[in-house]
Amino acid sequence: MPGEGVPTAQKTSWATFLKSIASFSGDLSSLTAPPFILSPISLTEFPAYWCERPELFSAIADTNTDEERSIAVLKWFISTLKGQYTSRNEKLGSEKKPLNPVLGELFFGYWPDINGRGQTNLVVEQVSHHPPITAYHICNPTKGLELQGHSAQKTSFSGGSIIVKQIGHAILTVRSPADEIVDQFLITLPKLRIDGLWYGSPYIELTETSYIASMHGWLSVIEYKGKGYFGGKSHQFKAQVYPPSPLHTAALPTPSTTAKHTLEGLWHLTSKDNRTGETFTDVTTPKEEVTTLYEGLDEMNEWESRRLWRWVSKGIREGDFEAASREKSKIENEQRQRRRDEQADGTNWQLRHFNHIDSDPIYELLGKLFKAQPPLEDAYIFKHNGPFTYTPESS
Ligand code: HCR
């Protein structure tokens, strides 16, 4: 039934919200949404989804060949999708509108070293507010793994759904114990469709194609389909892994035209290797949420997401939306004042953990494997060399 997921008192504001998004293109985060659809979690926490199966991330380093490594990267990537795109439905009942981070907002976390997999550390910084851009750095120094990326979104409305084009990419670097680069991967992000709006129960479906390209010429092409395709199931994918062509040189990676591996299934449940029939991914087992370095909010730095939004989140969680909105206005006004002060002083906000570059040379090179669009992209490079030791003061 239309609107059945919407509380009676909010049906009118939901209809108004839907009308406003139907004629809107750009930054959805700036639109005011009815309370029932608000999430108490900021977008700066989302990069943690990349590592909620830390053993699959660390397994990338335990491979012996370029081919094995490319398959391990694909396995880890597919296994992150359930967390990235369905966890709000599981936790909060439907997809929700996350808190829109302020410029300079931070999130730090880690996954501990268990059974020799090494500790994995996460540093996130909101590097732009308008448009919202979130930069992240995930590293497992013991295993020589480093994932660096940024994420922004461009939204439009089509056929009753919100279409979200993800802007940004991630680069995964694998290093030897002697700190030499063994492999590098360019990871692009799928397009999202937010369905179920009419019913007030939004959920994500992934569409079109994303790519993982390695510096040795291996290329994974991942196609996403939802209900109505290949037998009508939600969250389907088919990944084809192409080996490097014999003509490939180290300077210019080129994949062959025939795939060597095909992996297929449901990204939120299980998938199989088509050739062997063996299970490829299985995300039906529990995942491991990130641990924040300091548990108590008072111990955290004032820019850390959970501390910064604490009263807004409390209001949303407890259904006290007046308090949530009052606290949100305080944060927004403080931000506006900061920008005015900077303008008056002729200064600019300085990023703490990332440097911006206009064009990412790794994106540019590895993007040639699949004719990436756009052919050039900017990037945010982690400032700290070697493992970064976090303290509330250092943030
Ligand atoms: C589109 C979205 C904000 C961005 C979220 C991203 C793309 C962020 C990067 C993560 O790695 C993956 C990810 C997952 C989320 O699905 C996606 C969000 C879904 C909704 C939200 C909109 C800004 C809010 C729309 C409001 C709706 C629910 C009515």
Q: What is the pLDDT of residues 247-280, one digit of tens each?
A: 888 788 888 999 999 999 999 999 999 999 999 9
Contact 90, 19 (CB under 8 A): no
Cα–Cα distance between 282 and 305 in angstroms, integer? 31
Mean pLDDT of 303-328: 96
Residue 73 C-alpha to ligand 1 middle, in angstroms?
Answer: 23
Q: Is the ipTM of this complex over 0.90?
A: yes
* 202 CA closest ligand 1 atom index: 28
Contact 280, 271 (CB under 8 A): yes
Confidence of residue 230 (pLDDT cuts 50, 70, 90): low
Ligand 1 contact via 100 beta carbon (within 6 Å): no
Cα–Cα distance between 201 and 391 in angstroms, integer? 40
Contact 55, 48 (CB under 8 A): no
Ligand 1 contact via 151 beta carbon (within 6 Å): yes
Q: Which two tokens stand for residue 151?
A: 């994420």
Contact 86, 204 (CB under 8 A): yes
Residue 195 Cα distances to 80, 159, 163, 204, 360, angstroms: 21, 10, 9, 6, 33
Mean pLDDT of 174-194: 96
Cα–Cα distance between 282 and 319 in angstroms, integer? 36
Ligand 1 contact via 29 beta carbon (within 6 Å): yes
Cis peptide upstream of residue 374 (ω within 30 degrees of 0): yes
The residue that leads in pLDDT, 389 or 33, is 33
Contact 267, 359 (CB under 8 A): no
Can you give the three-state secondary structure of the chain, one letter per residue? CCCCCCCHHHHHHHHHHHHHHHCCCECHHHCCCCHHHEEEEEHHHHHHHHHCCHHHHHHHHHCCCHHHHHHHHHHHHHHHHHHHHHHHHHHHCCCCEEECCCCCCEEEEEECCCCCCCCEEEEEEEEECCCCEEEEEEEEHHHCEEEEEEEEEEEEEECCEEEEEEECCEEEEEECCCCCEEEEEEECCCEEEEECCCCCCCEEEEEEEEEEEECCCCEEEEEEECCCCCCCCCCEEEEEEECECCCCCCCCCCECCCCCEEEEEECCCEEEECCCCCEEEECCCCCCCCECCCCCHHHCCCCEHHHHCHHHHHHHHHCCHHHHHHHHHHHHHHHHHHHHHHHHHCCCCCCCCEEEECCCHHHHHHHHHCCCCCCCCCEEEECCCCCCCCCCCCC
Phi, psi of 361 (to 5 degrees): -65, -30
Residue 97 C-alpha to ligand 1 middle, in angstroms?
Answer: 7
Give the residue whose CA is nearest to atom 4 of ligand 1.
153
pLDDT of amino acid 340: 97
52: left (phi over 0), alpha (psi -120 to 50) or beta: alpha
Cα–Cα distance between 45 and 107 in angstroms, integer? 6
Predicted confidence (pLDDT) per residue in 337-394, tens digit: 999 999 999 999 999 999 999 999 999 999 999 999 999 999 999 998 766 666 666 6
Probe ligand 1: pick from 24, 50, 86, 164, max atoms within 8 Å of CB? 164
Probe ligand 1: pick from 49, 97, 100, 122, max atoms within 8 Å of CB? 97
Ligand 1 contact via 95 beta carbon (within 6 Å): yes
Ligand 1 contact via 84 beta carbon (within 6 Å): yes
Lowest mean pLDDT among 23-37, 81-95, 105-119, 225-239: 23-37
Ligand 1 contact via 28 beta carbon (within 6 Å): yes
Residues ≥6 apart with Cβ < 8 Å to 76: 53, 56, 57, 59, 60
pLDDT of amino acid 92: 86
Residue 176 C-alpha to ligand 1 middle, in angstroms?
Answer: 35
Give the residue whose CA is nearest to atom 28 of ligand 1.
96
Closest CA to 256 of 267, 264, 248: 248
Contact 241, 258 (CB under 8 A): no
Closest CA to 13 of 41, 35, 43: 35
pLDDT of amino acid 150: 98
Q: Which two tokens stand for residue 163?
A: 């279409």
Closest CA to 123 of 383, 357, 331, 393: 383
Mean pLDDT score of the chain: 93
Ligand 1 contact via 166 beta carbon (within 6 Å): yes
Closest CA to 70 of 242, 229, 292, 209: 242
Ligand 1 contact via 49 beta carbon (within 6 Å): yes
Residue 153 C-alpha to ligand 1 middle, in angstroms?
Answer: 8
* 155 CA closest ligand 1 atom index: 1
Does the pLDDT at position 246 exceed 80? yes
- pTM for the full predicted model: 0.95
Ligand 1 contact via 97 beta carbon (within 6 Å): yes
* 197 CA closest ligand 1 atom index: 29
Mean pLDDT of 175-186: 96
